[in-house]
Structure 1
Amino acid sequence: MATVTLSLVLLALATTGCLASDDTLRFIVIGDNGGADTFPYTTPLELGTADRMAMWAKKVGGIHFVMELGDNFYDYGIKDVEDARFQNTFEDVYTAPSLQVPWYIVAGNHDHRGNVSAEIMYTKMSNKWRFPDFYYPLSFNIPNSNATIDFVMIDTVVLCGQADDVILHPEGPEDVKAAASQWVWIDEQLRSSKATYLFTAGHYPVLSIAEHGPTLALVSMLQPLLYKHRASGHMCGHDHNLQHLQETKDGVTLDFILSGCADKMDTSEAHKTSVPEGTSKFHWADPTSKGGFVYVEASASKMVSTYITAEGDILYTTTTYPRELN
């Protein structure tokens, strides 16, 4: 798999060149921002969220990157690398100067209805689209410190299988051998990381109280690995709302950060009783809103995740602390 390791200085020079000089790494997490497959190929929520992301990024003095966690193109992905949806649903939407930073991409279930390989190939054709492979590692330095943050970017559809509006819960991988190879790779990445903060990031949630609920394969396979390697948690989309779930076992606290309403909104809490009692800390889905996102600011001493609406309201914040490694 492709490896992406970036120093803060090179990242800043390669993008806007105007980031504020301080001691934080700043980024935005979105998912499910895939517009529409008919004209105008966008939705009011996608546009509203994009506008607020741009304003927020400018307000904080610049962000270093965006995490885009799947369902990049509704409803059937894209056909090939020349597909006009790249322009209509992505490039023409996120045009603000404050958003001209690297966007790190993974595929969702709707992308897998189309041509994910073409989404990967598009990396060579865009100034900000970064999707080097189906799964890949990312590593960032936190400025003016020895602290780092690692992301293990995963393809949850390859791992778990396809889900849609009829099959709400993935029933198993289509390619068992490909899934097994990725599980081995995930274990290796988590085991080898010495980063201050360590997250997996993919489309499907581990835990969720909303329409799709917990992803059983990730609960049985990924969650134990996160505990085993004393990770910080998992970031995802898939359910069309904002959520924070948190669980602690054997001295390890995992934060599950779900950001899935950058294009659609779903108020369902159908799986409220499907997660361990007390793990659901925050859930938001307002059908009158134009969407939302999560803004993350990481320093050597803490990582703060702020949940923000497209209207600019700060809904909730949670703090992740550095890992305690043996």
Structure 2
Amino acid sequence: MKSPVAVFLLVVASGLPCWSRERDGEINFLVLGDWGGKPESPYTTDTEREVADQMGTTAAEVGSLFTMALGDNFYDLGVKDASDPRFQNTFENVFTAKALQSRWYVVCGNHDHYGNASAEVAYTKMSQRWYMPEFYYTEVFSIPGTGANLQLVMIDTVLLAGLTHPVLRELPPSGPASLSRAEDQWQWIQETLASSTADWIIVAGHYPVWSIAEHGPTSILVEKLRPMLEKYNVSSYLCGHDHNLQHIRESSSPVDYFVVGAGHLTDPSTAHEKDIPPDSLKFHYGVFDISESHGGFATVGITNKIMTTTFYDAKGNKLYSANTAQTRSIM
């Protein structure tokens, strides 16, 4: 594997045509997880298409600069190679709104690693908006009209924690397939966070640190990633994997944890509600109704002082909004 990509340029639209409205003093973007359609024709679900349509509307309304895609991009077994038609049938031909044509920052989930995850890296060179230059990477954005900036740290939690069982979904990840690759990434995360001078840091991966739902907390991330997030005053951790929307914040921690895994379907499970810190759950949305599709996504808006994360359902209803104060002290 090549060295992880670290882009420390202050960028506005990632060098791509962008149809969003620039807003002085803020950055706005969309977040989506677990959106990967299905392996047979029409290669989408009703929920994915409904979410995609609403994301286009919302992206235009908020002036979205980019989209973050948090893994499980292609159900059930990822893709075969960079020319796999799933890239067209589940992504390019679905998220077609003009306001969604700016860059998509992508990470892999467990279902992507069941297939050829390297092909999703390779597809970066074949798409105008899909961007995953390596399995983990970072990029920094300036906030227009301010001296502040935002750093995204995109990580591959499957390389860190291992694959889940493809059938026994309740089982935790099996542990990293390669201890050396996992250790290399842990070192990279630590060095990236320690060296950051950004006013805001958002770390994003597929597996949750904390979750009350079907899969629950990921033990290795609780043990190793959570202390780094707190030590380096990371603003929020974004993830998917569990098919719902959650906001979790510990009373003793500066970090907001957001699960945004409702792009494909929603699941009402609260199987692990006793496995997160007491009183840390601030919001949970998971609906199952066989007669109607349900799904959701998030927007994030950042100024030099406040980050606002808002959950939407597939019909565009605002479900919940949370503010995070800027607390990083830059030396």
**1:7 deviation in Å?**
3.4
**1:265 deviation in Å?**
1.3
Q: Following superposition of structure 1 onto structure 2, how do residues 280-299 of structure 1 map, counting pairs within 5 Å?
A: 280-288=281-289, 289-299=293-303
**1:10 deviation in Å?**
4.8
CA distance in 2, matches of 1:187, 1:21: 32
CA distance in 1, matches of 2:45, 2:22: 32
Seen in structure 2, the aligned counterparts of structure 1 residues 107 and 24 have a Cα distance that, compared at 3 Å, is same
Q: Following superposition of structure 1 onto structure 2, how do residues 40-189 of structure 1 map, counting pairs within 5 Å?
A: 40-60=42-62, 62-164=63-165, 165-167=167-169, 168-189=171-192
Partner in structure 1 of residue 237 of structure 2? 234
CA distance in 1, matches of 2:22, 2:246: 29
Q: What amino acid does structure 2 have at the position aligned with 1:34?
A: G
Of 287-296 and 100-109, more deviation after overlay is shown by: 287-296
Seen in structure 2, the aligned counterparts of structure 1 residues 78 and 33 have a Cα distance that, compared at 3 Å, is same
**1:248 deviation in Å?**
3.8
Deviations 1:239-280 (A, max 9, x none): 00000000243xx41100110010121110000000010111
Q: Quick one: percent identity of the two aligned structures?
A: 46
CA distance in 1, matches of 2:177, 2:115: 15
**1:9 deviation in Å?**
3.7
Q: What amino acid does structure 1 have at the position aligned with 2:175?
A: G
| Unaligned segments of structure 1, at least 5 residues | none
For the residue of structure 1 that corresponds to 2:164, the secondary structure is coil
CA distance in 2, matches of 1:88, 1:102: 18
Partner in structure 1 of residue 265 of structure 2? 264
Residue pair 1:25, 1:143 contacting (<8 A) in 2 also = yes
Residue pair 1:205, 1:236 contacting (<8 A) in 2 also = yes
**1:324 deviation in Å?**
3.3
TM-score, length of structure 2 as denominator length: 0.94
Deviations 1:175-225 (A, max 9, x none): 011101110110001111121111211000000000000000000000011
CA distance in 2, matches of 1:59, 1:303: 17
Seen in structure 2, the aligned counterparts of structure 1 residues 248 and 194 have a Cα distance that, compared at 3 Å, is farther
Q: Following superposition of structure 1 onto structure 2, how do residues 12-51 of structure 1 map, counting pairs within 5 Å?
A: 14-16=16-18, 19-51=21-53
CA distance in 1, matches of 2:69, 2:180: 26
Seen in structure 2, the aligned counterparts of structure 1 residues 9 and 201 have a Cα distance that, compared at 3 Å, is closer
**1:46 deviation in Å?**
0.4
**1:312 deviation in Å?**
1.2
Root-mean-square deviation (Å): 1.4
Q: What amino acid does structure 1 have at the position aligned with 2:52?
A: A
Matched, 1:302 2:303: no
CA distance in 2, matches of 1:105, 1:10: 16
Partner in structure 2 of residue 216 of structure 1? 219
**1:24 deviation in Å?**
1.1
| Unaligned segments of structure 2, at least 5 residues | none
